[in-house]
Chains A and B, each alone.
Chain A
Amino acid sequence: MSASQASLPKSGGAKPLPDELGHFGPYGGRFVPENLMPALEELHAAYLTAQEDPAFGEELDDLLANYAGRPTPLYEAKNLTRALGGGRIFLKREDLTHTGAHKINNALGQVLLARRMGKKRIIAETGAGQHGVATATVAALMGMKCMVYMGTLDMERQALNVTRMQMLGATVEPVTSGSCSLKDATTQAIRDWVTNVGDTHYIIGSVVGPHPYPMLVRGFQSVIGKEARAQLLEREGKLPKAAVACVGAGSNAIGLFHPLLDDPVDLIGVEAAGHGLDSGEHSASLTAGRPGVLHGSSLYLLQDPNGQIIEAYSMAAGLDYPGVGPEHSHLKDIERATYATVDDKAAVKAFGDLARYEGIIPALESAHALAHLKDLAPRYAKDDIILVCLSGRGDKDVSQVAAYLEKQR
C-alpha cells in the first residue's frame, strides 16, 4: 500500500459543509424539542456575527495566547520515532494548555458567545471531567454561574476533576440515570437547557449536538490544526503525510483534521475498542455502529436493532460516548478519513511508553492515538511526517492506570 491514501483531496471545490440546516451529507441537522429551536437560531446568529466582528476574534486570540498558553508547542518525539521505526512523529501539545486539554479552546470561544448573548448561567456535560473543568474555568473567569452534569460512574473514576470543578466554583450535578456516564450527563444537560433556555447557555463539549454546535465547536478547535500546519510549514517546509487523533465524540480530531482537509494528508481517527470489538464493550461508534439520531443530530451510533442506545465503554472516560460527530460520520462515508480502533490494553501500553521514551504523561484518551502509531508509523518513509494530537495530559489518569497495571500482574 502506498503511504498516502488520500492523494487527492476530496472536498476541494465542493460547497463548504455544513449546509444551511447543518447537514454534513446525510448527517448533522437539528433534531431537538421545539423549545430549543429559538435558542439554536440565536446561537447560530451570534456565532455568525461574532465571526464578522474583529473585536470578538481579538478578545478570543488574546485569551488563547495569554490565558490558555497558545500557540502550543509542536514537539518532535525522536525517541518514540526511533523506537517505532518509520515516519517522524510530531506531537501537537494540547496537554500544555491551561487546564490540560484541548477542551479549553472550545470553552473559551463559547463563553464569549454566551456573554455576547447576555446569558447569565452556563451548563455543561462532562465525561472525563476535562470539559467540565474547562467550562468551570471559563465561567469563573467571566463571573458566571456554572453547573456541570456528570454521571456518578465518572465522578468516581475522575474524582480529581470533580474537586477541581468545585474549587472553581461550579456545581457538579450527579447523574444517576441510564449508564451513569457521559451519554446520560448529556441528556440531562439538554433537559436543563430546555427548562432554562432563557438565561442559560449550554457549552457542549464536542462536535455533537444540534446545528450549529458541530460547526461552532469545529471552528473553535480548528486552532489545533491551523497552528500545527503553520508550524510544520515554517520549521520543516512541508505538510505532514498523516494526521492522527483519538476520537471520543470527535472534537480534537476535527480540530486537527479540518485545516488539513484540502491537503494531501491521510486523516486517521482512533476510536476506543475498550475490552475489544467482539466483547461488545467498546466505544467504536464509527467502526461498529450505524447511523441514527442522538442528542440532536444524525450520526454514527451504538444502538440495538430497536434503536435503543447502547452504553459505550472505554477505560478512558472521555472516549466512552456512543456516537461520533456528524462531520466524522460524513468523512468516513466519503472515505476522506479512516478510523482505526485501539483497546484498553494497547492504550495503557502507549501511555507508559510515552512517559518513558519522552518524559510526557499523556491522557488515556490521547494514548489511544499514540497506540495506533505502532501500526501506522512503519508504513511511512523516514522523512515523512506524522502529526499526532496529544489532546490532554495524564495526571487525571495515573491512579487508574496504576491500579490497572497492578491487576495485570
Chain B
Amino acid sequence: MNPDLREKFAAAAQQGRAAFVPYVTGGFPDADTCLELILALDELGSEVIEVGIPFSDPLADGPTIQLSSQKALEAGATPAKVLDTMARAAAKTKAALVTMTYVNPVLAMGYEEFARRASGSGVSGVIIPDLPPEEAGQWLQACQTHGLDPVFMAAPGTPMERLDRILAVGGGFLYYVSMDGVTGADLELGPERLAAMQRVRARSSLPVAVGFGVATPAQAAALAPVADGVVVGSALVRQVHQAKTPQEAVEAVRGLAGELRQALLVR
C-alpha cells in the first residue's frame, strides 16, 4: 500500500499546520536532479510531493512550468521514466507522492496500464487537470482497480452542485485552483477569495489543497487557516530555472521550500 493521502493531511492538521504540497516537473532539469529535489523536499517535511509528467501542450500551466516541461521533454523525459524516478523516490520518502499530468500521455499508455504502473511506482494519487468527472468513467475504474486516488480540481467559478459531483467521484484531496488563471500567475489574496475558499472547505468531504500562484511565505501563511494544504509549483520550478548547477538548484529549492513550510503553521 502506498501512503494514504488523507492521513497525510490529518497528520499535518494534528500538528496545527496546513500540509505542504510542493511540485516539481519530472525529468527537470534531469532525472537524477529531479530525484534529489524530491528527496530534499521530503527531508524538510513535505506531506505530499507532486511530480509533473511533462506534456507538450500543458493548457493549465503558465510559462515557468511550460518551459520546464519543454526542457524535460528535450532532455528525454517520458511518462515511464518519470514514474521510474518516482518509484526510486518512494522507496526512501515518508511523503505521499502524487503525479500531475495531462490526459493525452495517460491515454497513450492506456488508462488501465497507466494506473497500474503509477500505483506500482509508489504513487498515491493522480491529478489530470483536463480530465473532468464527466469524461473520467474509465479512468475512475482504473484508479479503483489499482488503489489510486483520482484527484480532481475545483475553481472559483465552480457552482456548488458541480462541486458536490466532483467530491462524489474524487479521492485523496480536492485540488482547489486559487483563481482563474494558469500556474505561476500573480495571486492576490483578498478577503473575498479567502471567504470563497472557506465555503468550499466547509462543503468538502475531502481535505482541500489550494494551489496556483502561491509563491511567497506570506501567501502561504495567509492560506494556511483556510486550507488543509497549500500547493507551490512555479515558485520552486523558477529556482531550478535560475540555478547554474544542479546542486545550486537543490539548495535553492530547499531554502524556499523550508520557508514556505514554516509559514504554514496555524497555531
Contacts and interface: CB of A to CB of B under 8 A. Distances in A.
Interface of A: 21, 29-35, 37-39, 177-178, 183-184, 187, 190-191, 194-198, 292-296, 301, 303, 305-309
A259 to B, nearest CB: 29
Interface string B130-149: 11101100000000000000
B104 interface: yes
B25 to A, nearest CB: 14
Contact of B55 (A183, A301, A308): A308
A38 B162 CA distance: 10
A41 to B, nearest CB: 9
Contacts of A308: 55-56, 73, 104-105
Given A37-B162, A194-B180, A292 B108 contact: yes
A306 B135 CA distance: 21
10 contacts: A30-B132, A30-B134, A31-B130, A33-B60, A33-B155, A183-B57, A191-B182, A293-B130, A303-B108, A309-B56
B59 A33 contact: yes
A183 B55 CA distance: 14
B177 A38 contact: no
B139 to A, nearest CB: 11
Interface residues of B, number: 44
B158 A37 contact: yes
A194 B106 CA distance: 23
A196 B179 CA distance: 10
A34 B153 contact: yes
Contact of A38 (B135, B152, B159): B159
B57 A307 contact: no
Nearest to B79: A306
A197 B185 CA distance: 15
Interface in B85-109: 102-109
A178 B57 contact: yes
Given A21-B134, A197-B180, 20 more contacts: A31-B103, A31-B131, A33-B59, A33-B60, A33-B130, A34-B166, A35-B155, A35-B156, A39-B157, A177-B63, A178-B70, A184-B57, A195-B182, A195-B185, A295-B59, A306-B80, A306-B108, A307-B55, A307-B106, A309-B57
A38 B177 CA distance: 14
Contacts of A196: 180
Contacts of A296: 59, 130
A395 to B, nearest CB: 32
B182 A38 contact: no
Contacts of B226: none
4 interchain residue pairs of minimum CB distance: A307-B108, A307-B105, A35-B155, A307-B104
A183 B109 CA distance: 22
A39 to B, nearest CB: 8
B62 interface: yes
Contacts of B135: 21, 29-31
Nearest to B152: A34
B217 interface: no
Interface in B6-63: 55-60, 62-63
B105 A306 contact: yes
Nearest to A183: B57
B46 to A, nearest CB: 24
Contacts of A21: 134-135
Interface in B170-225: 177, 180-182, 185
A293 B131 CA distance: 10
Contact of B180 (A35, A183, A301): A35
A178 B181 contact: no
Given A30-B135, A306-B105, A191 B177 contact: no
A33 B129 contact: yes
Contact of B177 (A34, A187, A306): A34
A294 B104 contact: yes
B62 A191 contact: yes
Contacts of B104: 292-294, 301, 303, 307-309
Contacts of B79: 306-307
B60 A194 contact: yes
Contacts of B103: 31, 293
B51 to A, nearest CB: 16
A33 B56 contact: no
A294 B58 CA distance: 10
A106 B79 CA distance: 38
B37 to A, nearest CB: 22
A288 B199 CA distance: 49
B234 interface: no
Contacts of A38: 157-159
Contacts of A307: 55, 79, 104-109
Contacts of A178: 56-57, 70
B57 A32 contact: no
B180 A191 contact: no
A186 B102 CA distance: 16
Contact of A32 (B59, B70, B107, B154): B59
B64 interface: no
Contacts of A190: 59
Nearest to A308: B56
Nearest to B157: A38
Contacts of A294: 57, 104
B2 interface: no
Contacts of B78: 306
Contact of B129 (A34, A183, A187, A198): A34
Given A33-B155, A190-B59, A307-B55, A198 B180 contact: yes
A327 B147 CA distance: 35
Nearest to A304: B108
B177 A305 contact: no
B224 to A, nearest CB: 23
B119 interface: no
B121 interface: no
